[in-house]
Amino acid sequence: MSSDLETGTTAATATTALPRRAVIDRAWRELGSEVALLSGRDGGPLSRTVKRILDPLVFRLRVHAEYGQPVVTAEIAGAMRTELLDHAAILRACASWFAVLKARRRTLGITAGNAQELYFPVCFELAVTRGAPAVDPVQVTDVADEVLGEIHEGHHHRAVEALDEHLADPSVVAVLAAQVEQSWADIRSGPADVTGFLERMRTVHQDASNHQERRTRQQAWAALVVDDAAYELGVRIRRPDGDVPWSVGDLGLCAEPPQQRPLVLAESSGRPLDRSVVERVRATLRRSRDRDELPVVPVLCSEEADRACAPWGLLAEDLQATLVNGIVVAVQLRPLEGSTVPDSGFVASIQARLRKEAYVLHARRLLAADGALHPRQRQVVGELAAFAQPYVRRLWARLHGRDVWQESCDDIDEVRSLLSGVARSVSLDHRQQIKAMLEPEVRA
């Protein structure tokens, strides 16, 4: 094993660290041609193979964060290779299942989405549960059709039906309404040093160049998470006279401040903190397409009633702190303005990226130097310029998902990557829309 590593990486042995993807590429090639359908032209794994199969299912980055570092030690590299080769038979079977699904997709005339993106994880699952596709073609076709049906309509559909059934009982709605009333009343203002909290938030936005600085930053975050200030801010946004440095209206969290007690059934403005309990549950069901196990619908509804009443609409204190952290970041971002000077290295680097991405649009003749190139783009360009709203809305949705699935945000590095990832995904969204507005067939 070690000889493999050394022959491939004479240059890297000096530092004993290796680029992660290079490690994966080398190990992957040992699997041979049977995984060709999951490989690129050069024999390495496709990027989608890495993202959809290897990272979540073979390396299981959620458990093994050390396998996910951009640069890994020779020791970790060895462990990754072992892990990958241990899955050789499954990966070969996975490739065979992909061939089956791809062929059935064509036969059934399914055109939605990207086959690799949609089918890779389920092919792996089939490989684990059933091994390689059986010799009996009828049996294989049946399995494939069932899986395709599930992906293209199933699952989510059934959960939504279950929700509708559950809500058809008026007593269910009445119980939820009573629960909301009680939970909302339970949330009360308390003493908290909000100003100090926001000051200290800056320390987790500083760059950390060594281990010690990173540890200090992590400790600062841990202290912010248990601080009462994020909770308190979430209470203050419910009062017309609540002392908060921003307006939840300007942030796009409510159509009109202050935040009102959520309703159970009604359709709302669509703003995160205005949403009714049922709207939130529906959003969870929509986002959980990739999940195997979904909480039972009645439990989901009852939990959501409490969550909707919690400060910032989030139960976990680390997620409340993360939302406030994100707001502090968001109000400093201006993708279309070169003169903005954010107050920390972290926010400055996000701002610099957004500026560069706006420049790409200009270089592609999709935007003028700093604004719309065509009147049709004005609205979406306006949104891009007022970045905080879409940013905070997107962040809230991510945190809501984390709250439902009980995924914590107690690691500051993870929080930082979440906060910059949200900026990226909002920017990407805007760029797609800006592009679409210049398609001649699109009507403004």
Partner 1 sequence: MKFTVENGLWACGAPVDPPPLVAVLEVSGAILEWTVDEPEPAPRITLTDVDAADWLWRVVGEDAHVRLVEAVAGAAGSVDVPIDAGALSPLRRLALGHWMRRWWPASARDGISALTTAVLDAELALLSVAVEEFLDQEAFDAELEALVRGLADLPAPLRADPRVADLVTACSELPVAVPEPGTGARWRADYALVAGSESRAAPGVIAAGTASVSWASVPPGVFDAGEDTLTWSVVTSAEPNGSPARVIGRVQTVLADPTAPHPLAAGIAVQLRSGALAAVGELDAEGAAGLSLDLAESAAWDHDWATTEVQVGVGSGESRAVRERVRRFVRSRLAAPPEDAFLAELLAAEDDY
Which residue ranges make up the site for partner 1 (CB under 8 A)? 9, 11-12, 14-15, 17-22, 40-42, 44, 46-48, 51, 70-71, 110-117, 207, 209-210, 345, 348-349, 351-353, 355-357, 359-360, 362-366, 368-369, 371-376, 417, 420, 424-425, 428, 431-432, 435, 438, 440-441, 443-444
Of the pair 198, 354, the CB lying nearest partner 1 is at 354
Q: How far is the CB of 42 from partner 1 (least distance, A)?
A: 7
Of the pair 183, 340, the CB lying nearest partner 1 is at 340
Q: How far is the CB of 65 from partner 1 (least distance, A)?
A: 13
Of the pair 241, 441, the CB lying nearest partner 1 is at 441
Whole-number Å distance between alpha carbons of 209 and 186? 43
Q: How far is the CB of 421 from partner 1 (least distance, A)?
A: 9
Burial 178-197 (b: 16+ CB within 10 A, else e): ebbeebbeeeeeeebebeeb
Q: How far is the CB of 386 from partner 1 (least distance, A)?
A: 19
Residue located via tokens 């829309």: 433
Torsion of CA 330, 335, 336, 337, to 10 degrees: 70
Of the pair 348, 385, the CB lying nearest partner 1 is at 348
Of the pair 207, 243, the CB lying nearest partner 1 is at 207
Q: How far is the CB of 209 from partner 1 (least distance, A)?
A: 4
Of the pair 33, 195, the CB lying nearest partner 1 is at 33
Of the pair 171, 210, the CB lying nearest partner 1 is at 210
Q: How far is the CB of 111 from partner 1 (least distance, A)?
A: 3
Q: How far is the CB of 87 from partner 1 (least distance, A)?
A: 20
Q: Is the dihedral of CA 300, 306, 311, 312 positive or negative?
A: positive
